[in-house]
Amino acid sequence: MSEHLERAFSPANLGKLQLKNRILKAATYEGKTPDGIPGDLLLDFHREVVAGGTAMTTIGYCTTEADGRINDQMMWMHEDIRDRLVHMNTELKRTAPDAKISGQMTHCGNFSKNRKMQRLKRPLGPSRQFNMLGMPSGLPFAGAMTTKDIDYLVQTYHDAARFMKETGFDAAEIHFSHGYGLSQFISPKTNRRTDEYGGSLENRMRLPLRVLEAVRKAVGDDFPILGKIGMTDGIKDGLQFDEAIEVAAMLDKGGIDALICSGGTSSFNPMVYFRGDTLDKGLIETETNPITRLGLKLIGPRMFRYYPYEELYFLEDAKKIRDRVSCQMIYIGGCTDLDSVERVMQSGFDFIQLGRPLIKDPAFVNNAKADRNYKNGCIHCNRCASLIEAPGGVYCPLNVEGQTS
Ligand SMILES: Cc1cc2nc3c(=O)[nH]c(=O)nc-3n(C[C@H](O)[C@H](O)[C@H](O)COP(=O)(O)O)c2cc1C
Ligand code: SF4
């Protein structure tokens, strides 16, 4: 094994947390929390990931409040699920005592079709906005947050972070990208505010930095905070790389432990991060709401543009960010084979997050350590992603169909 592969499979510290290797599970909302409850479906999925040698799994899309959910099946951090989360995290550690667990902290902002709003009547984002996703649920418009709403949101991040630490998570990943709440503030496309939270990049970063500060206050210095940022929104008038690199620098200065550099937005151009076969066909197949299905047929080809898959599709841009910041760097995006793991390590990244490759083979690490010629078999068809809202949630259909590559 080369020195770079050895490094990938050797222990390393993420902030002050010791990990047994440098391969981490990326946040992938798996649709395995029926009615928002983290039960056996979610546990069993992540049990396989930690049993397979992954150093740290990530529970994706843990929203900070009920109204931060995109749909009403998502989990939010609140007292009623405390025992379930403690049970899940305890069980994961019983399965793999040396594995760690991170939770991705999110809020949908203006992008929601959640009919079971609790505090709000409609989703809120930085500015008033047409909410296409919410149309079939009777939520066609999102409102603009007041400064009181912003203060409330910051508090939800604080409380959710403390709750996650108390329930046995080892790290928190703040979602600053993919067109959700905080990224809507960063993006000039969705943030048209004229107060201190809009306009200049400094103003658009005010809320994300307040959130980072609040989460740090809640968890203390020894608990790693990761940040997933966008390097581009992939749309005209959206966030571009020249500002994204400054976003990274600001979060670095704000005390983030590690950055994960992604791109694209779920609302306008998701294929930037789902590089591979387009998603619309699969989503149309699984969608049960006829209005949403019609909408997908009409706008699908424009929204789900084809971005051909290539290995390590974010590497060159992520390297520029690596050169700019002093925090740790976690590579994400199309790292499917061992040559790619080697290249990412050689490029000076500290860790690698794998999304689809770990859905395809949760034992990636154990299998790759045992065989230098390991082939993962993920073909980036994105069929798993179109199952997000299907009964039972995400899995790799190729595995069930018995194909391996
Ligand atoms: C089924 C599925 C669900 C996803 N859900 C999330 C999510 O909840 N949060 C997030 O930041 N990214 C999400 N992603 C994106 C992944 O974290 C990752 O950025 C993307 O899949 C590219 O990495 P990969 O090539 O290793 O799969 C999801 C991806 C998939 C396939
Ligand atoms: S369905 Fe399987 S092969 Fe296709 S992208 Fe998902 S994990 Fe990879």
Instruction: Tell me the pLDDT tens digit for each residue of 254-276.
Output: 999 999 999 999 989 999 999 99
Q: Supply φ then ψ for residue 81, to 5 degrees.
A: -105, 10
pLDDT at 297 over 70: yes
Is ligand 2 within 6 A of the CB of residue 388?
Answer: no
Between 155 and 305, the higher pLDDT residue: 155
Nearest CA to ligand 1 atom 6: 28
- The C-alpha atoms of residue 148 and residue 311 are separated, in whole angstroms, by 44
- Respond yes or no: is residue 331 known to be catalytic: no
Closest ligand 2 atom to residue 380 Cα is 5
Is ligand 1 within 6 A of the CB of residue 26?
Answer: yes
- The C-alpha atoms of residue 246 and residue 300 are separated, in whole angstroms, by 32
pLDDT at 405 over 60: no
Is ligand 2 within 6 A of the CB of residue 380?
Answer: yes
pLDDT band at 402 (very low <50, low <70, confident <90, very high): low
Concatenated DSSP letters of 56-109: EEEEEEEESSGGG-SSTTS-B--GGGHHHHHHHHHHHHHH-TT-EEEEEEE--T
Per-residue pLDDT tens digits for 136-156: 889 999 999 999 999 999 999
51 CB-near residues (< 8 Å, 6+ apart): 95, 96, 362, 363
- The beta strand positions in 138-236, using DSSP E, are 141-144, 171-175, 225-230
DSSP 8-state class, residue 26: P
Is ligand 1 within 6 A of the CB of residue 276?
Answer: no
315 CB-near residues (< 8 Å, 6+ apart): 331, 333, 343, 344, 347
Rounded mean pLDDT of 195-211?
98
Reported pTM: 0.96
125 CB-near residues (< 8 Å, 6+ apart): 109, 110, 111, 142, 143, 144, 145, 181, 184, 190
Alpha carbon of 5 to ligand 2 centroid (Å)? 24
Is ligand 1 within 6 A of the CB of residue 228?
Answer: yes
Torsion of the alpha carbons at 312, 313, 316 and 321, rounded to the nearest 10 = -100
Closest ligand 1 atom to residue 173 Cα is 11
Q: Of 157, 206, 214, 212, which Cα lies nearest the Cα of 186?
A: 206
Give the least confident one: 90-94, 173-177, 286-290, 362-366: 286-290
Alpha carbon of 146 to ligand 1 centroid (Å)? 31
Is ligand 2 within 6 A of the CB of residue 379?
Answer: yes
Query: Facing residues of 130 across strands?
Result: 141
Is ligand 2 within 6 A of the CB of residue 376?
Answer: no
pLDDT band at 295 (very low <50, low <70, confident <90, very high): confident
Q: Of 19, 47, 17, 144, which Cα lies nearest the Cα of 358?
A: 47
Q: Does CATH number 2.60.40.1180 belong to domain 3-111+154-180+202-400?
A: no
Please say whether the dihedral angle defined by the alpha carbons of residues 297, 108, 134 and 194, taken in this order, is positive or negative.
negative
Pocket test for ligand 2, best of 375, 378, 395 (most atoms within 8 A of CB): 378
Per-residue pLDDT tens digits for 160-193: 999 999 999 999 999 999 999 999 999 999 999 9
pLDDT at 288 over 50: yes
Pocket test for ligand 1, best of 23, 25, 28 (most atoms within 8 A of CB): 28
pLDDT at 371: 94
Q: Beta strands 17-19 and 12-14: pairing type? A: antiparallel
- The C-alpha atoms of residue 74 and residue 81 are separated, in whole angstroms, by 12
Per-residue pLDDT tens digits for 3-27: 999 999 999 999 999 999 999 999 9
Is ligand 1 within 6 A of the CB of residue 108?
Answer: no
Q: Of 20, 6, 7, which Cα lies nearest the Cα of 57?
A: 20
pLDDT at 105: 98
- The C-alpha atoms of residue 182 and residue 250 are separated, in whole angstroms, by 14
Give the least confident one: 11-15, 32-36, 214-218, 302-306: 302-306
- Report the chain's mean pLDDT, rounded to a whole number: 95
287 CB-near residues (< 8 Å, 6+ apart): 293, 296, 389
Amino acid identity, position 283 = L
Q: What percent of the chain has pLDDT over 90?
A: 88
CB burial of residue 249 (10 Å; 0-12, 13-18, 19+): middle
pLDDT at 144: 97
pLDDT at 301: 78
- The C-alpha atoms of residue 15 and residue 385 are separated, in whole angstroms, by 31
pLDDT at 355 over 80: yes
Closest ligand 2 atom to residue 383 Cα is 1
Amino acid identity, position 21 = N
pLDDT at 39 over 90: yes
Closest ligand 2 atom to residue 359 Cα is 7
pLDDT band at 282 (very low <50, low <70, confident <90, very high): confident
Nearest CA to ligand 2 atom 7: 360
Per-residue pLDDT tens digits for 51-104: 999 999 999 999 999 999 999 999 999 999 999 999 999 999 999 999 999 999
Rounded mean pLDDT of 231-256?
97
